């Protein structure tokens, strides 16, 4: 998982890595609990997962707020637009850990390159997509209106789609979601159950054809 920088007070919006405190998107900073000298793994309950999500969302929101304050000239949240969100996402690319091959690279489209190459490191599409989802929710939770949410702007959606398609081709991986099997409607489920029961009835020893015909009626 790529890393999202957390800006520190007094750092420039375009400063170096030394001015940043790096946090991971997968909340790897969450550690187990020590009980009786043994370390227990972190809880995987829905409440624990929700807590990790909320903590990550709060850190992302603070990071974006600090980015706006460090911007030259400084930006207020009310003046933030989709263009500023795109600027923020491009700024984050310098901290990316995902190799994205250029179309002139011999490993373009190769999911497992056998050797290193000089292609740039970028933020993975999945990391950016998840980040925008959290910031979009945080914006509205902090009093923003859905119709003015810069993280839901059409330009941001198009940018994420372009990044997804470009990285998919460059890395030779597919980002298509697997189609979930649709559950059978209640009528179909009961009908299937009746057919299965009928088949089991026919397989019972000593069941005559007359009995079977009566069952079918």
Average pLDDT, the chain: 74
Does residue 8 carry a pLDDT above 60? no
pLDDT on residue 65: 93
pLDDT band, very low/low/confident/very high, at 209 (cuts 50, 70, 90): very low
Does residue 208 carry a pLDDT above 70? no
Q: Which two tokens stand for residue 88?
A: 């923020």
Domain range summary for the chain, segments of one domain joined by +: 52-171
Against a cut of 0.85, is the pTM above it?
Answer: no
Greater confidence, 133 or 28? 133
12-48: per-residue pLDDT in tens? 443 433 333 333 344 333 334 333 444 445 555 667 7
164-177: per-residue pLDDT in tens? 999 999 888 776 66
pLDDT on residue 56: 95
pLDDT on residue 140: 95
């Amino acid at each position: 998982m790529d890393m999202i920088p957390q800006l520190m007070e007094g750092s420039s919006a375009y400063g170096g890595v030394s001015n940043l405190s790096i946090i991971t998107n997968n909340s790897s900073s969450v550690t187990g609990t020590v009980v009786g000298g043994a370390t227990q793994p972190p809880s995987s309950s829905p409440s624990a997962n929700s807590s990790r999500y909320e903590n990550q969302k709060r850190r992302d929101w603070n990071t974006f707020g600090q980015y706006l304050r460090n911007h030259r000239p400084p930006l207020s949240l009310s003046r933030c637009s989709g263009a500023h969100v795109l600027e923020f996402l491009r700024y984050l690319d310098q901290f990316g850990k995902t190799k994205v091959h250029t179309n002139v690279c011999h490993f373009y489209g190769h999911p497992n390159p056998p050797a290193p190459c000089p292609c740039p490191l970028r933020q993975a599409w999945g990391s950016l997509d998840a980040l925008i989802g959290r910031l979009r929710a945080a914006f509205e939770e902090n009093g923003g209106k859905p119709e003015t949410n810069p993280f839901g702007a059409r330009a941001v959606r198009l940018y994420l789609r372009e990044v997804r398609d470009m990285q998919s081709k460059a890395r030779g991986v597919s980002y298509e979601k697997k189609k979930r099997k649709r559950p059978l409607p209640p009528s179909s489920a009961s009908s299937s159950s009746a057919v299965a029961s009928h088949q089991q009835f026919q397989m019972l020893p000593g069941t005559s054809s007359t009995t079977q015909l009566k069952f079918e009626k």
